[in-house]
């Protein structure tokens, strides 16, 4: 046992000291989820390239992005994690709820933070239990509540029938508890329609919806499942304005295949859309025109590209906060974790970056790793091929969500033997 430790220590000592700030990108550019994985990965990488090219990194220290292909597959995700963690990885963003579940215990044991922005395990919002996992600015349960709030804002919800079309995995099952609580509270009927991975075949699900005629459909889909669902909804002439997707079901790739018939489809979002921001000028100048864009460089301004960029922006802001806190520009994962926990996003900060009004303001604390859960509703205009926000950023029903978070994180703490509390 001692020998093993010695051997590992020898390997560690032999590798050179990493001077760069390492941000691994566990991306998926292949497989049934590639259509959604590519824009996110491009946005994530391009933002860091921009920082390198324009500012020479963060606080003068260059950034190194290590990309690793997971194919949205948990086994490859583990391999990627093990392959990159030795390189001094500061924060993991796997963009997969399945991989997140696997990495939560591992990152906690290894002391590396993980940011699951708008996905992953919702109860990770409770930072007292999940010390190394962050899911600001919003989570799945906030999303479920936003969708219901939006439906309520359009008319009386009691007695209505609402269907949840979901990816039959940990991801899609996340909102069920919240929706059940909400249905008790507001008196609507919830109908569950699971779609199995990867979701290319949904005839029977939409036949069921056609027969049972729910008033509204909420979708938690990802990858090819989104496109198919929207096309099937159009085929049964389901009114698009009553069809609302979570933020992972709201990219251009999802609605474009259905053409004009997708007009009016709604999706939630926790950041702004489009490319009308000063930062985009810099992105074009330093990254795209210089030929340094990730991937094909054709994803700028799409919803998921913006989200990848937003994720990178939050990571770099957390790194800046960490550098201020520790007084050292070379970060360790532990410093990065403290930086993420002290992160505060203000309008002034976002305007300075060149993204005014891009996302909600929030402040992370040890008790709250999840931000304040603001979200907005976007609607697809098929003629203009553009998403536009139709509501402002609104809060979610914390009276319902917070007890569920407390309950689920307490269950996790008991299961994993974690002493909850702030360090």
Partner 1 sequence: MFYRESGDFSTTYSEDSQTFPIKFDRYRYYLVLAVAFLVVPFFINDYWANAVFVPFLIYATAAIGLNILTGYCGQVSLGTGAFMAVGAYAVYKLMTAFPEVSMLIHVPLAGLVTAGVVTIFGLPSLRIKGFYLAVATLAAQFFLVWLFNKVPWFYNYSASGQISSPERSVFGIIVTGPNTEAWAKYMICLIFVTLAALIARNLTRGSVGRKWMAIRDMDIAAEIIGVNPMMAKLTAFAVSGFFIGIAGALFFSVYLGAAEVGESFGIDKSFLVLFMVIIGGLGSIFGSFAGAAFMVLLPVFLKNVFVGMLGWPTDLAAHLQFIVSGGLIIVFLILEPHGLAQLWRVAKEKLRLWPFPH
User: Which residues contact partner 1 by CB under 8 A?
Assistant: 1, 3-4, 7-8, 11, 27, 29-30, 34, 38, 67-69, 71, 73-75, 78-79, 82-83, 85-86, 97-98, 101-102, 104-106, 108-110, 121, 168-171, 173-174, 176-177, 194, 196-197, 295, 408, 411, 415-417
Closest to 241 (Cα-Cα) out of 213, 215, 259, 204? 215
Q: CB 14 → partner 1: shortest distance, Å?
A: 12
* For partner 1, the closer CB: 119 or 243: 119
Distance CA 252, CA 274 (A): 11
Distance CA 146, CA 144 (A): 5
Q: CB 30 → partner 1: shortest distance, Å?
A: 4
* For partner 1, the closer CB: 79 or 361: 79
Cβ(175)–Cβ(220) below 8 Å: yes
Q: CB 416 → partner 1: shortest distance, Å?
A: 7
* For partner 1, the closer CB: 83 or 348: 83
Q: CB 129 → partner 1: shortest distance, Å?
A: 14
* For partner 1, the closer CB: 31 or 356: 31
* For partner 1, the closer CB: 12 or 383: 12
DSSP bridge partners of 166 = 194, 220
* For partner 1, the closer CB: 181 or 317: 181
Q: For residue 215, give both structure tokens.
A: 């008033």
User: Terminal CA-to-CA distance of the chain, rounded, Å?
Assistant: 30
Q: CB 3 → partner 1: shortest distance, Å?
A: 5
Q: In 110-215, where do the E strands start and end? A: 114-115, 133-134, 161-167, 189-195
* For partner 1, the closer CB: 1 or 383: 1
Residues near 279 by beta carbon (within 8 Å), at least 6 away in sequence: 50, 309, 353, 354, 355
How distant, in Å, are the alpha carbons of 77, 342, 369 from that of 178? Answer: 28, 28, 19
Q: CB 70 → partner 1: shortest distance, Å?
A: 9
DSSP code of residue 251? S
Q: CB 198 → partner 1: shortest distance, Å?
A: 10
The position carrying tokens 């806190």 is 325
């Amino acid at each position: 046992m001692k020998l093993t430790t010695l051997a590992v220590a020898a390997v560690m000592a032999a590798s050179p000291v990493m001077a760069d700030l390492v941000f691994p990108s566990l991306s998926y550019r292949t497989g049934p989820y590639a259509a959604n994985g590519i824009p996110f990965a491009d946005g994530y990488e391009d933002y860091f390239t921009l920082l390198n090219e324009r500012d020479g990194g963060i606080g003068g220290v260059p950034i190194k992005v290590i990309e690793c292909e997971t194919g949205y597959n948990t086994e490859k995700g583990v391999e990627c994690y093990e392959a990159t963690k030795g390189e001094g990885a500061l924060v993991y963003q796997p963009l997969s709820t399945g991989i997140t579940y696997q990495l939560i215990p591992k990152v906690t044991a290894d002391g590396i933070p993980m940011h699951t922005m708008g996905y992953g395990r919702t109860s990770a919002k409770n930072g007292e239990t999940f010390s190394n996992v962050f899911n600001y600015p919003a989570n799945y349960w906030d999303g479920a509540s936003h969708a219901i709030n939006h439906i309520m804002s359009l008319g009386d919800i009691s007695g209505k029938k609402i269907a949840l079309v979901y990816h039959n995995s940990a991801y899609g099952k996340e909102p069920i508890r919240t929706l059940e609580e909400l249905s008790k509270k507001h008196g609507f009927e919830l109908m569950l329609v699971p779609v199995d991975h990867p979701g290319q075949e949904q005839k029977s699900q939409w036949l069921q919806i056609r027969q049972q005629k729910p008033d509204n459909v909420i979708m938690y889909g990802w990858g090819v499942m989104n496109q198919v669902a929207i096309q099937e909804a159009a085929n049964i002439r389901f009114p698009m304005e009553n069809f609302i997707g979570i933020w992972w079901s709201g990219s251009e790739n999802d609605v474009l295949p259905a053409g004009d018939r997708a007009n009016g489809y709604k999706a939630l979002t926790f950041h702004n859309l489009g490319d009308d921001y000063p930062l985009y000028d810099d992105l074009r100048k330093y990254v795209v025109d210089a030929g340094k864009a990730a991937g094909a460089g054709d994803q700028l301004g799409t919803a998921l590209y913006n989200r990848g960029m937003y994720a990178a922006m939050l990571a770099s802001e957390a790194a800046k906060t960490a550098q201020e806190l520790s007084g050292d520009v070379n970060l360790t994962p532990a410093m990065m974790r403290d930086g993420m926990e002290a992160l505060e996003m203000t309008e002034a900060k976002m305007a300075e970056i060149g993204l005014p009004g891009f996302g909600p303001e929030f402040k992370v604390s040890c008790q709250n790793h999840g931000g304040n859960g603001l979200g907005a509703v976007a609607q697809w205009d098929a003629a203009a091929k553009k998403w536009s926000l139709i509501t402002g950023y609104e809060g979610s029903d914390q009276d319902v969500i917070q007890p569920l978070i407390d309950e689920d994180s307490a269950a996790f703490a008991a299961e994993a033997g974690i002493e909850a509390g702030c360090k």
